[in-house]
Amino acid sequence: MLVEWNDPFQDTEGGGPETGAELDEQSYINLDQLGEDFGPFPDALAVQFPQSISAGPQKPFFLWGQTGQPVNIWKWQADGTTAEFNAAGVPGGLAPQENTQLKASAAWADGRYRLVFTRPLATGDADDIALVPGKFIPVVFQAWDGSNGETGMRMSLSSWYSLVLEKPVPVSVFTYSGLVIALAGAAEWLLVRRARNSAPV
């Protein structure tokens, strides 16, 4: 999964991944408290998926899910940290997932990040969503700008979007296409040969 976004500064310094475990039921950051420890914070980006796709239109709360509708979160930080979390609401924070097959690689140039997450489409873990080609998969994006003092709940975030993976093209499609082209070429060759043979001398 390739994600690109603009960030004028590359901020790589900071601590470990934010878990949100210290959050209480308040959803808003205390700016006075933040000013006491203003960084440095690394740039970061996370993508959030529901742990399973419901049959209807209802989705978990777009910020870390809710009770009964948990989410799975992939998070990368510019300090080199990549982690996977599960959450079922802001008060509970993010619970690190011990067994993860998630990897990430990122590059920053000319004020723009290019980040690639890699993970098997299906991991066999009940906490991970199965990424099925052809299905509409809900996804949320969350970004932190370290030089802007963004950390924890202070972030930029989206609402739910839909990710659709293309279905792989069966090999038979290429086989049949090649066969049709070969037959058409042979038919054309026969017609040309017949026309030449029947032409008056």
State residue 160's pLDDT score.
94
State residue 144's pLDDT score.
95
| Domain 2-164 CATH class label | mainly beta
Whole-angstrom distance between the N-terminal and C-terminal Cα of the chain?
66
- Which candidate, 51, 110, 42, 105, places its Cα nearest to that of 77? 42
Find all residues with CB under 8 Å of 2, minimum gap 6, and list them.
Answer: 114, 115, 116
Q: Across the 201 residues of the chain, what is the mean pLDDT of every consecutive 10-residue run?
A: 95 68 48 57 95 84 92 95 93 89 96 96 91 92 93 92 85 68 77 72 56
State residue 20's pLDDT score.
53
State residue 35's pLDDT score.
46
Q: What number of CA atoms fall less than 13 Å from residue 52's CA on the CB side? A: 9
State residue 25's pLDDT score.
42
Distance, in Å, from the CA atom of 27 to the CA atom of 123, rounded to the nearest integer, reads 32
Distance, in Å, from the CA atom of 66 to the CA atom of 51, rounded to the nearest integer, reads 12
Distance, in Å, from the CA atom of 145 to the CA atom of 150, rounded to the nearest integer, reads 5
Indicate the pTM of the whole model: 0.74
Tokens of residue 113, six digits: 């990040």
Place of tokens 């980006």: 45
